[in-house]
Amino acid sequence: MGEVWRLLLDPLQHMFMVRGLIAAVMAGGLCALVGTYVVLRGMAFFGDALAHSILPGLALGYLLGGGSRDALFWWGLGTAILAALGIGALSRGQQLKEDTAIGVLFAGAMALGVVMISTSRSYAVDLAHLLFGDVLGVGDRDLLRLTIFAGIVAAAVVFFYKEFLVISFDPVLAITLRLPTRLFENLLRILIAITVVVALQTVGVALMVAMLVTPAATAYLLTHRLPAMMALSVLLAALSAVVGLYASYYAGVASGAAIVLTATGLFLIVRWIRRTPS
């Protein structure tokens, strides 16, 4: 018993682990909350594209801000919101299918980001942080920013619960109830954008879509009430964050990837238990 406690408490002697745990739980929980809508509305590809397309913005912030986290954050946020609204506008175009248009743009944006970062000397390390996250490098300011923005996004999801529900389940009903449908669609996209930027330090650009989709997908298999799905999703994400970080501490593997793998494992287990044909 004492051995278990030692294993659990040992890593907490390091401040970077404590901050990393708090950040991973908060960012993961936020992604999971917003992710319920990503899953229910079939926006996984949108989330993935969004995460990738902010790379040039991050690169610019990185080159101009001299590595300051603040600059990185604000440039990322600006790009993300622009990209979210831009992809929304694209989806209303008629010529190309939406996923084709998104695919073309996000791969292009990603390439642009990589080219920009490659002009810097510490290219490999910095690119790796942006792509795969750097949760153990979270500072106090990062944590404060994460808390504030997570609070804002979570509050919006709660306050506009019934509006988001109606536009997601039945957009035609939303129109006959005379809700400002377009406004809420865009608000939801902006909330996803903020979430992605805020959570970036945890898992990075490349694995972001897993944070948005995996815990929510697991919760989706377990319940038939939306509030329950949201709560479960957040819980599963928090659990994945803690287990993943401990695993990365003891096994010495990349922390963001460990968190995502844990979430994926939980999904597969639930999927297997729930495999009964119905």
Partner 1 sequence: MALMNWWRMVTLREREARHAPGEPLLEVSRVSMHYNGVLALEEISFTVEPGERIAIVGPNGAGKSTLLKIIAGVLTPTAGSVRVYGHGPQGHLCIAYIPQRNQVDWNFPLTVADVVMMGRVGKMGLLRHPGARDWEVVRRALEQVGLTDLAHRPIRALSGGQQQRMFIARALAQEAELLLMDEPFTGLDLPAQEGILEILERLRQQGVTVLVATHDLDQAAAYFDRVLLLNRRLIAFGSPEEVFTPEALRAAYGGHLRLVSIGGELIAVGDTCCEGG
Q: Which is nearer to partner 1, 202 or 233 (CB)?
A: 233
Q: Which is nearer to partner 1, 36 or 202 (CB)?
A: 36
Q: Tell me the closest approach of the beta carbon of residue 24 to partner 1, in angstroms.
A: 26
Positions that interact with partner 1 (CB under 8 A): 40, 94, 159-160, 162-163, 165-166, 168-170, 172-173, 175-179, 220, 223-226, 228-229
Q: Which is nearer to partner 1, 110 or 232 (CB)?
A: 232
Q: Which is nearer to partner 1, 63 or 175 (CB)?
A: 175
CB 80 within 8 A of CB 50: yes
CB 126 within 8 A of CB 120: yes
Q: Tell me the closest approach of the beta carbon of residue 42 to partner 1, in angstroms.
A: 9
Range list of H helices, the chain: 2-9, 15-40, 44-53, 55-65, 69-91, 98-117, 123-132, 140-159, 161-169, 171-176, 181-222, 226-251, 255-273
Q: Which is nearer to partner 1, 46 or 220 (CB)?
A: 220
Contacts 24+ apart (CB under 8 A), 219-228: 219/32, 219/36, 220/36, 220/39, 220/40, 221/270, 221/271, 221/274, 222/270, 222/274, 226/36, 226/40, 226/165
CA Rg, the chain, in Å?
19
Tell me the residue type at 69: R
